[in-house]
Amino acid sequence: MKIGIACYPTYGGSGAVATELGLELAERGHEIHFMSYAPPFRLAGFRERVFFHEVEMEDYPLFEHPPYSLALAVAIHQVAQDHGLDLVHVHYAIPHATSAWIAGQMFEGARRPRIVTTLHGTDITLLGKHPSFRSITRFSILRSDGLTAVSSYLKDETERSFEVDGSRIRVIPNFVDVELYRRNRAPCHRSKLAPEDEKILMHVSNFRTVKRVEDVVAVFAGVNRRIPSRLIMVGDGPDRARAQQRAEELGVAESTVFLGKHTSVEEVLACADLFLLPSESESFGLAALEAMSCGTPVVASRVGGLPEVVEHGRSGYLFPAGDLEAMTDGAVEILGSDERWEEMSRGSRRIAEERFSSDTIVGVYEDYYREVIAGEVLPAEPSSMTSVHAHGRSDRAANRG
């Protein structure tokens, strides 16, 4: 298959999943075309059958802000036309699903590629609900030929908030490369992160308010008073300064390391003894899954899609968001017993391998693509494009002989 992928290139779950999916698909022999305003942050080095197309925008005095949505639509149309794409997979509803639909309208006749939209979280739970975007978000996802969500929680939220028939949303969870994200891998940076007698607690995120990074520091401070430990904060964002200030206030600044953005997260996650994710909301929790694949137990909030990833009592503990005392006690219980830690470490790794490995989930995407291209999946809402789709299938079949 020839597949186009439109995503945000910046740090975050949707861009990471989109990029890893494309690379995995290329390894399986598919031709992949990424489209964005910059190379995705996990797209590094030459990969066979992988191409990147930069969305070009021109500064024009009339526009206060460059019209990226329209520029992306043009790019999708051009790439699809030039390379004969079978399908365009867009990640995050706004603006990608909108741009893909516009691109589809630009084709003469019925030669347009199918559109699959994957909903990742805040495109539905936050941005999509805003009055300025709700109607265009709903319109765009309803005009997609295929629609997926990364968790059952997000599927239910989409059905409830946007009046979408839930039976037409396929739940395909995020995934992890269990060979890349594993413990006892080289290089090992543990000795550079903390003294041998200290436990390493870790947090990885974009440091936005929903991640509650000040709570991360507060939980660590409670643990540090009872167990010698160090906190490694990976990532950057608007609440980093608040987290640093909180570390000063709680007297743990010298035991807290802010690494900033890190492209090889797997190298540091493999060193962690515990992963903290006390978020206000998580539609899936990709960082938690990556930690689990490294055999790192997780203490997190019982919110959103996290219970679908972290199994309470087996791979870590889940508590109500904001219950810092319970999170601290849970972390101390795990770190304070080698036997308990080993048990949860094995449980974490096993869940990642059995339920979320890339070998399994990427195959699910391949099967879904084939269903969508063959017209076996109904769009989220019937539209006037249905007859066009049917003609398109006939044209493509004839062209392929």
Partner residues linked to 168 by β-bridges: none
Residue 34's DSSP bridge partners are 5, 52
How many beta carbons lie within 10 A of that of residue 139, not counting itself?
Answer: 14
DSSP state of 147: E
Answering whether pTM is above 0.85, one says yes
Read out DSSP for 186-252?
A: SS--HHHHS-TTSEEEEEEE---GGG-HHHHHHHHHHHHTTS-EEEEEEE--TTHHHHHHHHHHTT-
Tokens at 321, concatenated: 């968001």
Report the DSSP beta bridge partners of residue 6.
Answer: 35, 90
The whole-angstrom separation of Cα 155 and Cα 283 is 10
Note down pLDDT in tens along the chain; length 401 residues.
999 999 888 766 788 899 999 999 999 999 999 999 888 877 777 889 999 999 987 776 666 677 888 999 999 999 999 999 999 999 988 889 999 999 999 987 767 899 999 998 776 766 656 667 788 888 888 899 999 999 999 999 999 888 888 888 999 999 999 999 999 876 677 888 898 899 999 999 999 999 999 999 999 999 999 999 999 999 999 999 999 999 999 999 999 999 998 878 888 999 999 999 999 999 999 999 999 999 999 999 999 999 999 999 999 999 999 999 999 999 999 999 999 999 999 999 999 999 999 999 999 999 999 999 998 776 655 433 333 333 344 343 434 33
- Cα–Cα distance between 276 and 332 in angstroms, integer? 12
Strand partners, 35: 6, 53
Q: For residue 55, give the DSSP letter.
A: P
Contacts (Cβ under 8 Å, ≥6 apart) of 68: 37, 55, 57, 95
CA torsion sign for 180, 182, 187, 193 is positive
Fill in the amino acid letter for 399: N
- Report the largest interatomic distance among the alpha carbons of the chain, rounded to a whole angstrom: 71
Q: Is CATH 3.40.50.2000 the classification given to domain 190-355?
A: yes
DSSP letter (8 states) at residue 374: T
Over the Cα atoms of the chain, what is R_g?
A: 22
DSSP class of 93: S
CA distance 349 to 311: 12
**What is the distance between the alpha carbons of residues 104 and 111, in angstroms, rounded to a whole number?**
9
Domain boundaries, the chain: 2-175+358-400, 190-355
Which listed CATH number (3.30.530.20, 3.40.50.620, 3.40.50.2000, 3.30.70.141) goes with 2-175+358-400?
3.40.50.2000
Proportion of the chain in helix, strand, coil states, percent, rounded to 5: 45, 15, 40
